[in-house]
């Protein structure tokens, strides 16, 4: 199982908005595009990793999103009024597409990132218990649909509100709430069955 983390990046262009950086890039400043990438690359990789469950596939998905972003911002720059939201939504869609493709090809990956923090564990028995909990959680998460994993990741990993998730996934907030509740219930059932 992969336990790799994607650390948060510190942006060199903290004072500029994504939209301003995009305008700067379109006006001939290639470093502005690099600043957008630096600002979002680790967050997008984490989202993709939570959905896909494989670090290299998550990095490929993130790369595909930035390539698509670069192509579209040059051909349709007015499309990007909220760069971060577009990148997040595109990453979720790309990751779900990759999981569906893997499922069609029969290569479902059971490995998934750990959601149970290991901080504060001191004894070897606590470490073993925490590792077993992470393993059960990873297996249970892999059993959920890619869409359910996406909603769980956006809510709990990215700490987005129902409204923010609804905007990203182009769904009503009430639908997001019910889908999240269903995903949590399924996860509880799967974890209960594993015990």
Q: Which of 74, 109, 144 is the last residue of a domain?
A: 109
Mean pLDDT of 62-86: 85
Q: Output the pLDDT for position 139.
A: 84
163 and 87 co-located in one domain: no
Angle, helices 83-104/55-75, rounded to nearest 10 degrees: 130
Residue with tokens 């979002």: 40
19 and 97 co-located in one domain: yes
Number of domains in the chain: 2
Q: Output the pLDDT for position 15.
A: 60
Contact 144, 183 (CB under 8 A): yes
- In tens, the pLDDT along 86-141 reads 999 999 999 998 888 777 655 333 333 334 444 555 667 777 777 787 788 888 88
Mean pLDDT of 129-158: 84
- Cα gap 66→133, rounded to integer Å: 35
Asked whether residue 116 is domain-assigned, the answer is: no
15 and 104 co-located in one domain: yes
Q: Which of 49, 83, 109 is the last residue of a domain?
A: 109
Asked whether residue 1 is domain-assigned, the answer is: no
- Cα gap 176→161, rounded to integer Å: 10
- In tens, the pLDDT along 29-59 reads 889 999 999 999 999 999 999 999 889 889 9
- Cα gap 108→23, rounded to integer Å: 40
67 and 143 co-located in one domain: no
C-alpha dihedral (193, 108, 149, 153), degrees to nearest 10: 110
Share of the chain above pLDDT 70, in %: 80
Asked whether residue 77 is domain-assigned, the answer is: yes
99 and 37 co-located in one domain: yes
Mean pLDDT of 70-99: 86
Q: Residue 181's domain is classified under what CATH number?
A: 1.10.10.10
91 and 171 co-located in one domain: no
CA-wise closest residue to 161 among 170, 148, 151, 149: 151
67 and 130 co-located in one domain: no
| Highest mean pLDDT, choosing among 64-68, 97-101, 154-158 | 64-68
Asked whether residue 118 is domain-assigned, the answer is: no
Q: Residue 16's domain is classified under what CATH number?
A: 1.10.1740.10
- Cα gap 132→124, rounded to integer Å: 12
64 and 95 co-located in one domain: yes
Q: Is the pLDDT of residue 27 over 60?
A: yes
DSSP secondary structure, the chain, as one string: ------PPP--S-TTS-HHHHHHHHHTT-HHHHHHHHHHHHHHHHHHHHHHH--HHHHHHHHHHHHHHHHHHHHH-GGG-SSHHHHHHHHHHHHHHHHHHHHHHTT---------S--TT--SHHHHHHHHHHHHHHHHHHHHS-HHHHHHHIIIIIS---HHHHHHHHTS-HHHHHHHHHHHHHHHHHHHHHH-
Q: Which domain holds residue 78?
A: 9-109
Mean pLDDT of 48-77: 88
127 and 89 co-located in one domain: no
Q: Is the pLDDT of residue 4 over 70?
A: no
């Amino acid at each position: 199982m992969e336990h790799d983390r994607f650390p948060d990046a510190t942006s060199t262009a903290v004072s500029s908005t994504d939209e301003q950086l995009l305008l700067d890039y379109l006006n001939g400043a290639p470093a502005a595009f690099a600043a957008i990438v630096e600002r979002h690359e680790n967050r997008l990789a984490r989202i993709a990793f939570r959905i896909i469950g494989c670090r290299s596939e998550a990095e490929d998905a993130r790369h595909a999103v930035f390539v698509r972003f670069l192509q579209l911002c040059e051909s349709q720059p007015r499309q990007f009024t909220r760069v971060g939201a577009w990148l997040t939504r595109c990453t979720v869609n790309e990751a779900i597409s990759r999981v569906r493709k893997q499922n069609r090809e029969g290569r479902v990956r059971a490995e998934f990132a750990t959601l149970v923090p290991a901080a504060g564990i001191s004894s070897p028995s606590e470490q073993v218990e925490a590792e077993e909990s992470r393993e059960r959680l990873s297996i249970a998460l892999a059993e959920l649909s890619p869409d359910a994993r996406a909603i769980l990741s956006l809510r709990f990993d990215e700490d987005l509100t129902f409204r923010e998730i609804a905007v990203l996934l182009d769904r009503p907030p009430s639908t997001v709430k019910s889908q999240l509740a269903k995903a949590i219930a399924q996860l509880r059932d799967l974890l209960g069955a594993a015990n």
